[in-house]
């Protein structure tokens, strides 16, 4: 038997052994939705969607069960934020201080600060583009580059948020999922005149009479490659609209994406409340508050 054939036989034997070992190994314990999520405890709100995705409200989830499960997973969670020019000066410090205290407390977190003047600490990521150009286009295209370049190999889950927020209470592992969407604080409680894109020629169009929820574009999350797929869908929609002489908003493109690609988990308005609004009775515990939208 020649050397090449001996090598192939050895590799085949090793592969067969590893495959047998994998088959004999007891499967990893899976966390079922019913183990930790109890929508019946919040009959005052929509706690589960028509496509059976959970909507995370305070009172619907069991922190202890989630903590035991995710505590064994050796997770790393990424949080990406774009902070340029005046927005960095005005919001970044309070964002970071509050995130350090409340975002995924007890878990390994990598903060990705996307800046045009990298004088900050943490993991600073340079961005491309004009700081006075389209904020969301810059944010999404830069994030896509970094996901492909390194983020997908560094974290298990990734969130991207605008910097104009203050975390006030625990923003924990109950929010983790393959594709995570944030319900809009204002439009969740206003069930008419939802500002979807209605022009048929726009890539962001959701026809009249259709639509699920209105999503807040300031928070997206999920597995890194799921976030990348969302960004690619957004950029393709922008390019198509530009070709047709149209210009829809980032949030409308995001809502079209989630209309056609249903998120696996939705975050209630408690996770991105608006500072100018008084929380209604359905909002039990505000996890994060959005500040002025002047630059957003």
Question: Is residue 257 scored above 70 in pLDDT?
Answer: yes
What is the structure's pLDDT at 86? 79
Q: Indicate whether 119 belongs to any domain.
A: yes
Q: How far apart are CA 70 and CA 204, in angstroms?
A: 36
| 64, 92, 151, 229, 251 from 225: Cα distances, Å | 28, 26, 10, 6, 20
pLDDT at 192: 81
Structural domain contains residue 55:
no
> What value does the mean pLDDT of the chain take?
85
Q: Assess whether pLDDT exceeds 50 at residue 25.
A: no
| 137 vs 203, more confident | 203
Q: What is the pLDDT of residue 143?
A: 80
pLDDT at 13 over 70: no
Torsion 166-169-173-174 (CA) sign: negative
Structural domain total, the chain: 1
Q: What percent of the chain has pLDDT over 90?
A: 70
Residues 6+ apart with CB under 8 A from 249: 197, 204
Amino acid 29: pLDDT: 59
**pLDDT reading at 106 higher than 50:** yes
**Letter string b/e over residues 105-131, b meaning 16 or more CB atoms within 10 A of that residue's CB:** eebebebbbbbbeeeeeebebebeeee
* pLDDT tier for residue 200 given thresholds of 50, 70 and 90: very high
Identified catalytic residue from 145, 197, 226, 251: 251
Q: Is 99 within the bounds of a domain?
A: yes
Average pLDDT (53-81) is 96
Tell me what pLDDT residue 61 has: 98
Kindly report the pTM of this predicted structure. 0.83
Residue 30 a catalytic site member:
no
Judge whether 262 lies within some domain: yes
Residue by residue, DSSP assigns the chain as --HHHHHHHHHHHHHHHHHHHHHHSPPPPP--HHHHB-GGG-TTS--B-TT--BEE-TTSB-HHHHHHHHHTTT-EEEEEEE--HHHIIIIIHHHHHHHHHHBTTTSEEEEEEEESS---SSEEEE--S-TTS-HHHHHHHHHHHHHHHTGGGT-SEEEEEESSEEE-S-B-GGG--SEEEEE-HHHHS--SS---B--TTSTTB--TT--S--EEEEEEEESHHHHHHHHHHHHHHHHHHHHTT----HHHHHHHHHHHS--SEEE-GGGSEETTS---TT-----EEE---TT-
What is the extent of the structural domain holding 270?
Answer: 74-290
Mean pLDDT to the nearest integer, 119-124: 48
Task: Confirm or deny that 174 is annotated as ligand binding.
Answer: no
Residue 34 lies in a domain: no
pLDDT at position 82 over 50 = yes
2 pLDDT more than 90 = no
Domain membership of residue 16 (yes or no) is no
Is 136 annotated as belonging to a binding site? Answer: no
pLDDT at 277: 92
Assess if residue 23 is contained within a domain: no
* CATH code, 85: 3.90.550.10
Residue 68 within a domain: no
């Amino acid at each position: 038997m020649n050397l090449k054939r001996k090598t192939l036989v050895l590799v085949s034997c090793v592969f067969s052994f590893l495959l047998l070992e994998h088959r004999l190994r007891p499967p990893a314990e899976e966390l079922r939705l019913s183990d930790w999520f109890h929508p019946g405890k919040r009959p005052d709100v929509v706690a589960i969607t028509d496509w059976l995705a959970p909507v995370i409200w305070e009172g619907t989830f069991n922190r202890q069960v989630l903590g035991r499960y995710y505590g064994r997973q050796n997770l790393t969670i990424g949080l990406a934020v774009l902070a340029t020019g005046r927005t960095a000066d005005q919001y970044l410090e309070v964002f970071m201080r509050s995130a350090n205290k409340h975002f995924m407390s007890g878990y390994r977190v990598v903060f990705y600060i996307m800046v045009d003047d990298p004088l900050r600490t943490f993991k600073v990521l340079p961005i491309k583009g004009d700081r006075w150009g389209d904020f969301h286009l810059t944010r999404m295209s830069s994030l896509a580059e970094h996901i492909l370049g390194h983020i997908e190999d560094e974290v298990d889950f990734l969130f991207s948020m605008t910097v104009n927020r203050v975390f006030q209470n625990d923003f924990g592992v109950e929010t983790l999922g393959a594709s995570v969407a944030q319900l809009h604080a204002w439009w969740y409680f206003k069930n008419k005149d939802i500002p979807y894109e209605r022009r048929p020629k726009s890539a962001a169009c959701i026809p009249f009479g259709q639509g699920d929820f209105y999503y807040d574009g300031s928070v997206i999350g999920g597995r890194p490659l799921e976030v990348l797929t969302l960004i690619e869908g957004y950029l393709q929609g922008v390019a198509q609209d530009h070709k047709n002489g149209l210009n829809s908003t980032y949030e409308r493109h995001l809502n079209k994406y989630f209309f056609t690609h249903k998120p696996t988990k939705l975050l209630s308005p408690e996770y991105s409340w608006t500072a100018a609004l008084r929380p209604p009775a359905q909002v039990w515990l505000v996890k994060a508050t959005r500040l002025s939208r002047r630059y957003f």
